[in-house]
A and B are shown apart, each in its own frame.
Chain A
C-alpha cells in the first residue's frame, strides 16, 4: 500500500512536472476541432490499415481454399487415371445387335400396315426416322463357341455378361447378368459403381437383384422388398444410381439367374476380355477379330490415350492456375501497398494543409517564444495521434470485417465439388493474429510519423516575420 501511494505520488509529480503536457492537450483539441479532417484521415487510413491486416490472412485462406480445390481436382484426375488404366485393359466382344423401332405416330405417317418392324443396324436407316423410339436387342452367343478366347496370349480373363432388354407395359428395362465369382467381381469393374441404398451384389448371390432407382420408382418397390421379373420373384438387396446413360433402367443379377429367366442357358451377349497390359489391347483385339470374324470387337484404346492426354493437359492447367494464384497474391500485396501509401499521402497532404492553414498560429506561437522543436513536436504529435486513431479504427474494422473485406476484395475460389456436382464459391474464414494487429498499429505510427514529418518541419522553420504577415 505504501508502495502504491509512493508510486501514485511519483506519477502525479511526473504529470505536474511534465512541461510538454500542454502539447498533448492542444493536439487533442485540434483533432476534435477539425472533425472533417479527422474523419477523412481516419476513414482513408483506417481502411488502408484494415486492408493491410485483413488481406494477408485472407490471401492465405483463399490460397488454402484454392489449393483444396486443386488437390481435389488432382486426386480425381489421378483416380480417373487408375480406373482408366483398368478399363484400358478391357476389350468388349459382341455380335451385332438388332434394333426394334416403335412407330407411335398418328395413322397415315410412317410405314403403313404394321406398328413394328425389325432392322439390322446399318440397314434401311429406319432407326433415325422422326416420331420413332428404338430399343436395342442384343444378340446372344454360345459361350462354348468362344471359349478359345481364354487361351489367347496376354488375356487374363473373359467375363461373360448377359444383357436382355425387356418391357413391362410401356416401361422398357434391361436385365444384366454378371458372373458373381469373387475372383472376377473383386478385380474387374463389372458391378454397378454407384450404389445409393442397400448393398451391391456379392459372390454367390442368387435370387437377388440390384435395381436402378428408376426401376424402383416405376415398379413402386424399394430396397429390402421383392420384385417379380419374368415370373420369378427376386429380393431387392440394393439400388444404384445412374453412372452412365446405359444403366438408367438396368436390373443387375447373377449370370445364372439371368440365363434361367430369359431362357439363355449357356449364352451371353457380351464377352468382356481383360488383357494383362493396356499396351497389348490392340494386338489381342486384332487376334480376336481374325479368329472370330463375326464378332464386333471394341476397346477404349483411342479414348484412353485421348483421356490421358487430357489428364496431363489438365495437370498443366492446374499448375498454371496455381501460378495465377500466386500472381494474385502479389497483385493483392501491391494493392495493399498502394492503399497504405495512399493513406500515408492523405496524412501528408492534410497535414501540409493544416500547417499552411495554421501559419498564423505558428507565427503567434513563435512570437510567444515557442522553439522550433516545440512547433515540430506539436504538429508531429497531431499527425501521429490522428494516425493512431485511424490505426485503432482500422484494426476494429479488420477485426470485425476481415472475412467480409477479403471476400469483397479478393477473387472468389469456386469449387466444383460442393453440392450435387454444382459449382459453388467456397466460403473462407479469415483470422487476424495478434502479430498482424501489432503490424497494423506499427504501420499507423510509421505512416503518421512519415506523413507529418515534412509538414511539421516546414511549419517549424517558417520565419516568424513571414508567418505573422500570413493571412
Chain B
C-alpha cells in the first residue's frame, strides 16, 4: 500500500497568449499511492484539468518531473506517450466521449483494439467489464440509446479495459443528475475497493469529493489544502454495536438505531448526538 503510483515534482505549466502569461501550475508537488482514490477540488481556472492532462500525458509540463510507475513521462516524446496513455492510463470524461457510431461493447473494445488485443479476448473482456459496471444486456446499444449515467458507465468500463495503473476522471459526474452522480461515484469507489485501482478524480462537487479517500484543494497552481475523505464508508462500524455498516444506510441493520453522518469534508463518522430513543 505504500508503493508510489505517481510522483509529481516541482511541476510548472505556463501558457503564453501573446504578451500575457498564464500559469495554471506553479511548482506543484504531489504523491499518490497505489490503490488511492483521490479527489482534486478547486475553483475554476485553478489548474485542475491542466494537472489531470499532464498526468494523462495529454499535455506536457513546462518544467518538473512526472513519475508514473517510476517513469518520467514529462521527458518522453509523443512517439512513446501514446503507449503510456494506452497501457497505463484510463480516462473518464465529463462528456463521456463515447464514439457515437460504435455500440457499448465496441466502445469498450476500441481501447483494447488499440492495444492490439485479439477479437476473442476483446469480446470476452468487454462483456465482463460491462457486466461489472451494471450494463449486462446493453452491450449492443449505441450511446444515443443509453442514459447519461449508462454512458458514463460504458466510459468507465472503457477506461478499465487495458487494466491501467491509474484512472483519471475529469468531472465524471459533472453532467449527471443527483441519482446518477451517486451511482457513478459508488461504482468508482467499489472498483477502487475491490480491485485496488488508483483513481484521481477532478470534481466541483463537495459531496462527491467527500466520498474519496483524500481530497486535495488546488489554488494558484499549488495544492493548498488536503483533507481526508469518507471513502472508507464500507469499513465503518456502528458506534453502538460495532456491527459493519451498510454504505449510505441511515439505520444500523444490527441494532436498528438511526445513524446520522457528518458528511462533508471529513471522515464520515456516525455522530453521537442523535437521540435514539
- Chain A: residues with CB nearer than 8 A to chain B? 16-17, 19, 21-22, 25-26, 29-30, 33, 360-361, 363-372, 374, 464-465, 468
Contacts and interface: CB of A to CB of B under 8 A. Distances in A.
A368 B58 contact: no
B53 A369 contact: no
B87 interface: yes
B118 A17 contact: yes
Contacts of B58: 366-367, 464-465, 468
A26 B113 CA distance: 12
B120 A369 contact: no
B97 A360 contact: yes
Contacts of B101: 26, 29-30, 33
B243 interface: no
B82 A369 contact: yes
Contacts of A26: 99, 101-102
A293 B234 CA distance: 145
Given A26-B101, A361-B99, A465-B59, A368 B114 contact: yes
Contacts of B86: 368-370
Contact of B85 (A33, A368, A465): A368
B91 interface: yes
**The 8 A-B residue pairs with the shortest CB-CB distance in the complex, in nearest-first order:** A369-B86, A29-B101, A364-B97, A465-B59, A369-B85, A22-B113, A464-B58, A367-B91
Nearest to B161: A368
B15 to A, nearest CB: 10
B56 interface: yes
A370 B97 contact: no
Contact of A370 (B91, B114, B119): B114
Contacts of B87: 369
Interface string B46-80: 00000001001011000000000000000000110
B111 interface: yes
Contacts of B113: 19, 22
Nearest to A32: B101
Interface of B: 53, 56, 58-59, 78-79, 82-87, 89, 91, 93, 97, 99-102, 106, 109-111, 113-116, 118-120, 158, 162
Contacts of B85: 366-369
Contacts of B110: 22, 365, 368
9 contacts: A16-B118, A16-B119, A17-B118, A22-B113, A26-B99, A364-B93, A368-B110, A369-B86, A465-B53
A468 B93 CA distance: 10
Contacts, number: 71
Nearest to A469: B49
A366 B82 contact: yes
A366 B58 CA distance: 8
Contacts of A366: 58, 82, 85
A101 to B, nearest CB: 96
A363 B59 CA distance: 12
B219 to A, nearest CB: 22
A21 B91 CA distance: 24
A181 to B, nearest CB: 96
Determine chain A's interface SS by DSSP, over half rule.
helix
Contacts of B109: 22
Contacts of B93: 364, 367, 468
A369 B97 contact: no
* Interface hub of B78, B113, B115 (most chain A Cβ within 10 A): B113
Contact of A368 (B53, B100, B106, B111): B111
Given A29-B101, A361-B99, A367 B56 contact: yes
A369 B83 contact: yes
A364 B82 contact: no
Instruction: Choose among A25, A369, A370 the residue with the greatest number of B CB atoms under 10 Å from its CB.
Output: A369
A371 B53 contact: no
A164 to B, nearest CB: 97
A338 B92 CA distance: 48
Nearest to A375: B82
Nearest to A25: B106
B115 A369 contact: yes
A464 B115 CA distance: 18
A37 B269 CA distance: 59
A367 B114 CA distance: 11
A148 to B, nearest CB: 107
Contact of B82 (A16, A371, A465): A371
Contact of A468 (B53, B89, B102): B53
A5 to B, nearest CB: 20
A160 to B, nearest CB: 99
Nearest to B98: A364
B16 to A, nearest CB: 15
A16 B116 CA distance: 11
A363 B86 CA distance: 13
Contacts of B158: 368
A134 B91 CA distance: 110
B114 A374 contact: yes
A282 B158 CA distance: 107
Nearest to B101: A29
B111 A369 contact: yes
A25 B158 CA distance: 18
A278 B93 CA distance: 102
Nearest to B162: A369
Nearest to B50: A465
A366 B79 CA distance: 12
Nearest to A358: B99
